[in-house]
Amino acid sequence: MSEQTSVTPAWRDPKRYLWPLGLVIPLSPFMAWGLVSWLGPGAFWLLGLIIMGIAIPLVDAFTGVDRTNPPHEATEALENDRYYRWCLYLLIPLQYAGLATACYLWAHGPLGVPERLGLAVTVGIVGGVGINAAHELGHKRENVERWLSKITLAQSFYGHFYVEHNHGHHVRVATPEDPASARYGESYWKFLPRSILGGIRSAWELEQRRLQRIGATKWSAHNHLFNAAAISLVVFAVLVAAFGWIVAPYLVIQAVIAVILFEAANYLEHYGLLRQKRPNGRYERTDHTHSWNSDHLWSNLFLYHLQRHSDHHANPVRRYQSLRTLEESPQLPAGYAVMIFCALIPPLWRKVMNQRLIDYYGGDMSRVNQ
């Protein structure tokens, strides 16, 4: 009788062919144009908001959460599978094609001011999702991906994020010293200017120190802040030159909306969570307990697993398709789309989150970032 050998079948990502759903948001300006042309109502120019604020939360509610993780032995192959990179890379040309199309419509389309503003909201939501894509790309070691991060940030004029997020936020996360970690009781509208201004200030200081280390002047082309800002200036200048000054206010509006959207995600990701200090005065190492998680399936697909934020901070270079969820991570009651809406309304946010935070720390307010 021959010896039987058991063979473990190779693991396959059950979400593999769902990741291109992340491209729906950058396609929303085109879909909005098509729906308005076909059906007529100008409300469809708000399609980006309809998808993010209504459609995704409804689908999340019916499909529930996904707490499955890839096995550790599959991680290397999963990380090296370039299919996942192209699912993300394709967002960038779609993002800029949508921006150029919006400029054409702002300049030449039969749109009134309300319709133009609705389109600016949709384009701004695309820009906010673009900042998330830049967040994923900026953590990677490959130089081309880092440049793609800067290019993606250019639409929202948020190039300082490339420096501050990696070298500031990830070092100081979940501490009172981090401008991008929201404190208990701090409203989103108070957090917003603190995060933006504090992030710009921190990025400038971090970049000056880096340039000193490599022997370059802060005014050189090596300055990441300057070359990121230059990309934004070129993008905006080309669009204004091509379509006229009529597009300028809408370019500003969409950039503001993108920043408001992304900073709302920043706000909810670490709200009230605190790394404890060791006897030597240093903070404990960042782990899975220092970021709020959401395992809602569909919003994670549209946001490239941004909601598995705890594992991202514990393993910053891990690619989105490999991020895990762990039991010890604090959990949000809904996906980011719902929680961002809550954040914009401070009394609602406090009602939803404050007791959840206190319960997570067992009522010990000394463990809360205040």
Whether 205 is in a domain gets the answer: yes
Name the pLDDT band for 174 (thresholds 50, 70, 90): very high
Is position 4 within any domain?
no
Is pLDDT above 90 for 219? no
Q: Is 247 among the domain residues?
A: yes
The domain containing residue 152 runs over which residues? 18-71+80-272+281-367
Contact present, 211 and 220 (Cβ < 8 Å):
yes
Domain assignment present for residue 11? The answer is: no
> What is the C-alpha to C-alpha distance for residues 80 and 83, in angstroms, rounded to an integer?
9
306, 265 contact by CB (below 8 A): yes
In a domain, 8, yes or no: no
Residue 96 lies in a domain: yes
- Summarize pLDDT for 124-166 with one digit per residue, the tens: 999 999 999 999 999 998 999 999 999 999 999 999 999 999 9
In a domain, 5, yes or no: no
Handedness of CA 353, 359, 362, 363 (dihedral sign): positive
Each residue of 8-60: pLDDT tens digit? 467 899 999 999 999 999 999 999 999 999 998 999 999 999 999 999 999 99
Number of domains in the chain: 1
Phi and psi at 4, nearest 5°, equal: -90, 135
Is 12 among the domain residues? no
Q: Which amino acid type is present at position 100?
A: A
